Amino acid sequence: MPKKTIADIDVRDKAVLIRVDFNVPLDGQTITDDLRIRMAIPTIQSVLDRGGRAILMSHLGRPEGKGPEPEFSLKPVAARLAELLGRSVTFATDTVGPDAQVKVQSLANGGVLLLENVRFNAGEDEKALKKKTGQANDPAYFNALAPFGDVYCNDAFGTCHRAENASMFNVPKAMTGKPKVMGFLVEKEVKYLEEAIANPARPFVAILGGKKVSDKIGVIQNLLPKCDQILIGGAMAYTFALAKGLKIGKSYAKSEDVPLAQKLLAEGAAKIVLPIDNNAFDNFVWDSYSADPSRTKVFPFGELADTFEGLDIGPGTIQRYVGIVKSAKTVIWNGPMGAFELPPFDAGTRAVAQAIADSAAISIIGGGDSAAAIEQMGFADKVTHLSTGGGASLELLEGKKFETLAILDDKS
C-alpha cells in the first residue's frame, strides 16, 4: 500500500524529525559533492514553508560510535545546507546530549536544526553494538531521540536498507501515536526504482557494470523476466567470459562467481548481451598507471593476451550498446562500463552516459559509480531519475522490501 508523505501531514507548529542522508564526500572540511544535500531540500523546505520546524539527523562516514571524531563531523554540512536554503541552520554538537536537547527546545517555527553525526553514538548501529556488547539495541538512545519530533519523516533513501540503524527504524517505532511519513526524495526513489520497473515502457533495457557478478546476481535474476535486454559491462563481464571458457588475460574476475555467471547465462541467454570487444592495457598497475597508447590495445571479447587487463568495453561494443539504448523506451543503468576514472578507459562509460542523456527514454541511474559518472560528465540534468543510494538502489532493483518503509503510515 502507498505510504503517506510529508505533504499529507499538517506540520504547522510541529517539530518534524527528518532522517536525511548527508553522507557526502569530504576533502578535509570541504564538501566535494553536495548532491545528497540538494536532494533533501524539497522536503525540508516544505516543512518550513508550512509553518513547521525541521530537526535533521544523519550519519557521515564510518565512525565507530566511540564519541566525536572531528573528521566525521556534520558541521561543514550545516554550513552548506544554510547556503542552499538561504537561511541560518543551527548545529548541535551532539545527537541526544545537552546541546541537542537545549537547541531542540529553543527551535522556533521556520527554524532548522542539524544534529551531530548519529554514528558518534554506539546505540545507532545495532549490529555493531551487538557484536561489541551482546546487546541487541540501546533503548536509552532511541528513546532520547524519539521525543524530539511531533512527526517522523524518512527522507534518507541511501540508508533505507539499513533497519539496524536506530534512527531509521527504532526511533520511528518509538514514536507511538505520532505520524510517520516518507519525504519527497524517498517517494521519488521508490516510484522510479520500484513502480517504473513493475510496468515499464518497452523496449526495457538494463545496463549493468561494476566488478562482481555476485553483487548483481539478485538484480539480474529480478530483471530477467521483466527486461527485454540486459547489457553487461565493467569487470563483471570477464567473469561471464570465464563462464564461457574464454581468455581474459589479467582482467579482474572472481572464480567463485563463475558458477553464478553460468547459471545466469543458462537462464537468460536470449536477453543477456555481452561485449564483443574490450580495450585493454599491458601489465596494468592501478597506482602507477599513465596513459600510454603503445600499451593499449583492443581485443575481441574473450581473446585477451596473457599480459593484458581489460579496462573498458571496446569500440564495437560501444557502437552496439549505444544502438540498443537509442531504441529503448525505459533504461536502467547501474555500474560503469570500465575504469572511467582513467582515460582513455572512460570511453565506454561516457558513450553510454551520452546515449542515455540523448535518449527520450525513461532513464533511471541506480546510484553509486553510475551516478558519480553521470554527474562528472555533466548529464545529471538530462536523465529522468538519478538515485542517491547505491546499496539501497540495488536492493530495490532486486525486488526487496524495506522494513524502514514498512513501518511508515499507509495512505488511507
List residues with catalytic annotation.
Answer: 36, 212, 368, 391
φ, ψ for residue 384 (rounded to 5)? -70, -45
Distance in angstroms (rounded) separating the CA atoms of residues 123 and 166: 7
φ, ψ for residue 130 (rounded to 5)? -65, -35
Distance in angstroms (rounded) separating the CA atoms of residues 348 and 338: 7
Distance in angstroms (rounded) separating the CA atoms of residues 40 and 284: 40
Distance in angstroms (rounded) separating the CA atoms of residues 127 and 130: 5
Question: If phi over 0 gives left and psi between -120 and 50 gives alpha, with beta otherwise, what is residue 53?
Answer: beta
| β 330-334/362-365 pair status | parallel
DSSP single-letter state for residue 194: I
Distance in angstroms (rounded) separating the CA atoms of residues 89 and 76: 11
| CA distances (Å), origin 272, targets 179, 196, 237, 281 | 45, 21, 11, 26
Q: Give the three cell numbers for residue 224.
A: 530477467
Q: Which residues contact 55 (CB under 8 A, 6 or more apart)?
A: 15, 16, 17, 18, 104, 107, 113, 115, 148, 149
| CA distances (Å), origin 342, targets 252, 287, 310, 366 | 16, 11, 13, 22
Distance in angstroms (rounded) separating the CA atoms of residues 87 and 240: 52
Identify the helix (H) or strand (E) that includes residue 288: none
Q: Which residues contact 35 (CB under 8 A, 6 or more apart)?
A: 24, 371, 375, 380, 386, 388
Distance in angstroms (rounded) separating the CA atoms of residues 246 and 249: 10
**ω before 225 within 30° of 0 (cis)?**
no
The DSSP bridge partners found for residue 260 are none
